[in-house]
Structure 1
């Protein structure tokens, strides 16, 4: 007897169609799974065997061959347990086989026949074609994910026997009720009003949030760099439904999905400085998303940047430009999205007080060795270099300070302006404007153009820095609500590029 079902294999956040073929034939009893299965798939034969027995069926003492086609694609995970068990029961004549190919079955089997949740369900459901399947049957423990996307009717089951009873037509399964992203956005608990002083840095971070520009904060210990960075999500525009689903798919694959289902707030990832390059980019024997992918559409904050291993920092170069990361292995290549807002903070020297010669105890050699950990190409990818000096006593005594609500009001206006400007484009932020399109959007006055040309001729800046200054100038002009970039706006953008001359010259 032969039976075939349809399933899928995960490739990052994308999916590939897989056919689960089961052949039951005479010969010495055996149970073989072929088609490049990993350990979890190979072990499914023990789970399937026990689940069928404990569900009240006699397991056949015959030769069983399971083929997961195509055979040259690595199959991972436990999502094939349910389709393998049902195809085997179809070969045994316990259930009708004529409807099996029109239903998508996903689920891991426990030894008693119970269904357990599987990772990566949301990417599979998102990539289904309309009318591809009559039903999709998933474990009831995956209900939160299944309710987000319903391109076909989704049914919930908690046991193998429930699925068998449904296929026989004796009893219906519980449908999965759909849920949508509500209009209310969770409020960030942190507020810029908690920070006294640092008004210039707050403006710099407002520009970063408005145009999605990368930024580095440089200053002595205790000046509030970490507090400022942690409050950045409170002024970022809300996620669209499409962005929320993109993030949720990544967290589903990484098995980090929260219990409330869809992710509603922009991620804020702040890994420790001991993290490895693989921890940042993702990878491993079974490649999983790293921190840069978990920060997709959100903020990646590297505190104490120069304490990170240099090899870990250098892997950020390509993702910062391409907004994705590709993990290559001998048998597969997986691409994860990685469009994040990169924020970093650092001290300017080992003791933290340079260039204050009264407090700094570091030698020039020590300072140069410390700053050399951050390469020029990576620093060149930072749009804003923000100096965060220690606040004065007068600033600490002030009762009124700029709050997140005040900054958010300006950011959301600029965000709406960009949405209208780029409504027919593949990019959405000023920081994403391709180099060959900058002249279309960045209109400089004659004085501003002379200032930019003079600056470029008298500095050793790269063409990338030239483009980033234009993009940042456009964001400043958006905040000022002007259609052209004047000399004062360009001068402010140039000011945000001067710290690398002061500390790294």
Structure 2
């Protein structure tokens, strides 16, 4: 007799069906053995000893016969300790401890301790979603129950504390109640924008970036408020939609970052240190865990001291910023994680931090600035929609009272602009799907919704002919102008919207020169 229990193997945030099959062979006098096959890794191969110890912990002994456990399909690599529970359940059914038909309709995952407790593992939420897609319920550890319950009220979840409790439930001597979803948590009050003195131009750029989901770079000397501005961006962004909440939480579940099943509707804000490696940013390691760019999915990835990151790490972000996903290439598989993020970065104008103008200017300018900014590749610079010069904060700025307008007022304008975008993109056909905000517009959608008037198009042509725009820059300028028009409450894109968008575009070799050139173009007669 072969007993089967459904489980899953993870491929990024996707879960693929795996059948844990157990067969007991031979009669009395057969040499006892426990063989595990199905392309297991080290953690899966050790399941034999954890299952053996867990059975001993609840007072059961393995039969003195030959036991074969197979994880099918055999050509799919199996990783992780969550195969313990399905193997144990299939073995219990093969031994006759529980009836095999009671396991029909269930998928299982969980690690076993040597005393029979079921230990929580990462990936409970995507496993529950996958089980629901297969028409099954999910059996998981008690601590994973609140997380798995977020998959939906239609998903049946059993979350026992121990193996003996699960056996008693299937035998009818104990009833396990369905877990409730964990709480919606809040990270507390967000810093207010009115705490930033001066920097009105940078605040305007931050509002535009929030309204359209655009990438943003602050350039300025130390202490000018670049990091303060970036940290206030989450307060301007709308909460996650139910779909975005599920997508983001599935990534966090794979990383094991969901505590007690609690989720949050606040958009992620990830700020890795500049010593982070390429694998830390994009994902990798032995089990290809999600990196910072995936943990920031549907949120903000903040890179402070941008040129201090290794060039290889920064360039590894180029594909995710363009496609909204990251593919971790391994020897035997390609693991895909979502990575639709809004990049916000900050940097000093040069290594000494002072730049080439004003009091205390760098004595090596402009060479020092060019060398420092050249640490960032041109293609990465080209993916940044807004580049903003943040000047030093003066004593006069600090002596002024706090601004009357803060995060609440700016967030209200951002919310109205995003509502306009949602209405505009609500009736997309399946072929046009994927765009939810202006930063995602492309192809026919860009032609339909981001076409400037005649004066605006002539201005954009002037900028392109001056050599200040690549093809990607042209597209991103139109997206940016569309957002500026939405904040302005305008139906169409006018010349002034294109002019402001052009000011925020840059040249990687000399951002200040490009800033000045765009300003001249914006004010020139057409």
Q: TM-score range by the shorter chain?
A: over 0.9
Partners of 1:288 and 1:188 in 2: how far apart? Answer: 30
Instruction: Tell me if structure 1 keeps the 8 A contact 2:274–2:306.
Output: yes
Q: Match of 2:4?
A: 4
Match of 2:94 among 87, 91, 95: 91
The structural deviation recorded for 1:394 is: 2.4
Q: What does the per-residue CA deviation read over 1:253-273, in whole Å, with 9 as the maximum and x for residues that have no partner? A: 011113351232111111111
The structural deviation recorded for 1:399 is: 1.2
Match of 2:45 among 42, 47, 65: 42
Closer, same or farther: CA 498–99 of 1 in aligned 2, 3 Å: closer
State the SS of the aligned residue for 1:190. Answer: coil
Instruction: Tell me if structure 1 keeps the 8 A contact 2:143–2:260.
Output: no
Confirm whether residue 141 of structure 1 aligns to residue 149 of structure 2.
no
Q: Match of 1:250?
A: 251
Q: Match of 1:352?
A: 353
After TM superposition, the runs of 4+ consecutive aligned structure 1 residues lying more than 4 A away are: 178-182, 498-501
Q: What does the per-residue CA deviation read over 1:245-301, in whole Å, with 9 as the maximum and x for residues that have no partner? A: 111111110111133512321111111111111110000111000000011011101
Match of 1:463 among 471, 476, 485: 471
The structural deviation recorded for 1:28 is: 2.0
What are the equivalent positions in structure 2 for 1:371-386 lying under 5 Å apart?
A: 371-386=373-388
The structural deviation recorded for 1:171 is: 2.3
Q: Match of 1:310?
A: 311
State the SS of the aligned residue for 2:235. Answer: helix
Instruction: Tell me if structure 1 keeps the 8 A contact 2:237–2:411.
Output: yes
Q: Match of 1:298?
A: 299
Instruction: Tell me if structure 1 keeps the 8 A contact 2:356–2:362.
Output: no
Any unmatched runs of 5+ in structure 2?
Answer: 515-526
The structural deviation recorded for 1:131 is: 7.5
Partners of 2:240 and 2:354 in 1: how far apart? Answer: 38
Q: What does the per-residue CA deviation read over 1:13-44, in whole Å, with 9 as the maximum and x for residues that have no partner? A: 00100000101112321111111111111111
Partners of 1:42 and 1:362 in 2: how far apart? Answer: 62
The structural deviation recorded for 1:89 is: 1.8
Task: Please provide the CA RMSD for this pair.
Answer: 1.8
TM-score, normalised on structure 1?
A: 0.95
State the SS of the aligned residue for 1:141. Answer: helix
Partners of 1:137 and 1:23 in 2: how far apart? Answer: 22
Partners of 1:450 and 1:332 in 2: how far apart? Answer: 49
Partners of 1:83 and 1:269 in 2: how far apart? Answer: 35
Moved more, 185-194 or 326-335: 185-194
Match of 1:421 among 424, 428, 431: 424
State the SS of the aligned residue for 1:279. Answer: helix
Instruction: Tell me if structure 2 keeps the 8 A contact 1:247–1:263.
Output: no
Any unmatched runs of 5+ in structure 1?
Answer: none
Closer, same or farther: CA 155–376 of 1 in aligned 2, 3 Å: same
Q: Match of 2:76?
A: 73
The structural deviation recorded for 1:179 is: 6.0
State the SS of the aligned residue for 1:437. Answer: helix
TM-score, normalised on structure 2?
A: 0.92
Moved more, 151-160 or 228-237: 151-160
Closer, same or farther: CA 453–359 of 1 in aligned 2, 3 Å: same
Partners of 2:259 and 2:479 in 1: how far apart? Answer: 36
Partners of 1:308 and 1:131 in 2: how far apart? Answer: 43
State the SS of the aligned residue for 1:7. Answer: strand
Closer, same or farther: CA 258–193 of 1 in aligned 2, 3 Å: farther
Q: What does the per-residue CA deviation read over 1:121-145, in whole Å, with 9 as the maximum and x for residues that have no partner? A: 1001122346823x43221111220
State the SS of the aligned residue for 1:217. Answer: strand
Q: Match of 2:389?
A: 387
The alignment of Structure 1 onto Structure 2 pairs a total of residues equal to: 502
Q: Match of 1:167?
A: 170
Q: Match of 1:108?
A: 111
What are the equivalent positions in structure 2 for 1:172-191 lying under 5 Å apart?
A: 172-178=175-181, 188-191=189-192
Partners of 1:423 and 1:386 in 2: how far apart? Answer: 32
Instruction: Tell me if structure 2 keeps the 8 A contact 1:245–1:262.
Output: no
Instruction: Tell me if structure 1 keeps the 8 A contact 2:146–2:181.
Output: no
